[in-house]
Structure 1
Amino acid sequence: MLHRYRPGDRVLDVDAADLVSLLERHPNRDEKVGVGIDHFEVQAADYSSQCFRVVRTDGTWARFSYKPCIAPHLF
């Protein structure tokens, strides 16, 4: 999904629904979501890669990687 978008693109609602579910598994979920999710975007990241950005309802944003969301959680 990430590479269907270019940096600066807003993620379509159909894909955003999957990202909301994915973000629920992020170890820093509360910090990433903050006051609430308005939408997602894709942004350029290090080493010519890209990542997702969650834009909060207050206009602030945070980058997040999907990798911690799919990694096995050790309890």
Structure 2
Amino acid sequence: MANPVNINGEQFPTKAAATARCQEILHAYPGEPGSGAGQPQDVTDATHTAFLAALVARHPEADEKIGAGISGFKVQVNPEGKGNTRCFYVIHPDGGSTHFSFRSCL
């Protein structure tokens, strides 16, 4: 029997369905043209921002990932990843950022 997943009021019948939603958001931000290394792009949709805030709160290391707080999110290539792996980053009030795996949040 599949375990349903609820993230910010969005109900997913399976973990695979929640994964598909995360990937949909990830692919909505392909990188700003000419933005340089990692092709960062800020998450600008308020619905996406609210979803990501609820998502990162589910991370096993949420306290470390959130740190001093969340001022926003961005998507960019993870320099520690293999290939052209894009991932989510929490942007902190001090301007720093921390990447997180959405898979760890599910």
Confirm or deny that 1:11 pairs with 2:43: yes
* Aligned 1:31-50 pairs, distance under 5 A: 31-45=64-78, 46=81, 47-50=83-86
Aligned pair count reads 70
Shift of 1:30: 0.5
| Residue identity (%) | 39
The separation in 1 between residues aligned to 2:85 and 2:94, in whole angstroms, is 27
TM-score, with structure 1 as normaliser: 0.86
Q: State the match for 2:104 in structure 1.
A: 68
TM-score, with structure 2 as normaliser: 0.62
Deviates more, 1:29-38 or 1:43-52: 43-52
Q: Residue type of the partner of 2:47?
A: V
Cα RMSD after superposing both structures:
1.0
| Rg larger in structure | 2
The separation in 1 between residues aligned to 2:91 and 2:84, in whole angstroms, is 22
Shift of 1:14: 1.8
Shift of 1:31: 0.5
Q: State the match for 2:61 in structure 1.
A: 28
Classify the secondary structure of the residue corresponding to 1:41.
strand
Unaligned runs of 5+ in 1: 71-75
Classify the secondary structure of the residue corresponding to 1:48.
coil
Shift of 1:29: 0.4
Divergent runs of 4+, >3 A: none
Unaligned runs of 5+ in 2: 1-24, 32-39
Whose RCO is larger (CA < 8 A, sep 6+)?
1
Q: State the match for 1:73 in structure 2.
A: none
